[in-house]
């Protein structure tokens, strides 16, 4: 029997404009709302993220973060 899908946690989140546009596009393409899309990504994170690519992307993002905050 499938798990019942309940959105039990709500939290404020700050996102970049680029990140939010990408989330909205992903959600629309998948036929989900933004909260459902985020739940899908994080519930399936290990199977959809390439660990090597994630590490290099995260390193790049962190190196640019201070400049992007200004």
User: How far apart, in whole angstroms, are the C-alpha atoms of residue 14 and residue 19?
Assistant: 10
- Determine the pLDDT at residue 46: 92
Q: What is the pLDDT of residues 24-46, one digit of tens each?
A: 999 999 999 999 999 999 999 99
Question: ∠ at Cα 42 (14, 29), nearest 5°?
Answer: 80
Domain spans of the chain, in order of start: 17-45
> Token pair of 50, please?
């390439």
Does the structure show a pLDDT above 80 at 21? yes
Cβ-contact 23, 34 below 8 angstroms: yes
User: How far apart, in whole angstroms, are the C-alpha atoms of residue 70 and residue 33?
Assistant: 31
**pTM score of the predicted model:** 0.76
User: How far apart, in whole angstroms, are the C-alpha atoms of residue 68 and residue 70?
Assistant: 5
């Amino acid at each position: 029997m499938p798990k019942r899908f309940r959105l039990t946690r709500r939290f404020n989140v700050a996102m970049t404009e680029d990140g939010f546009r990408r989330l909205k596009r992903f959600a629309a393409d998948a036929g989900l709302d933004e909260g459902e899309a985020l739940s899908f990504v994080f519930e399936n994170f290990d199977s959809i993220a390439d660990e090597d690519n994630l590490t290099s992307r995260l390193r790049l993002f962190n190196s640019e973060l201070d400049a992007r905050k200004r």
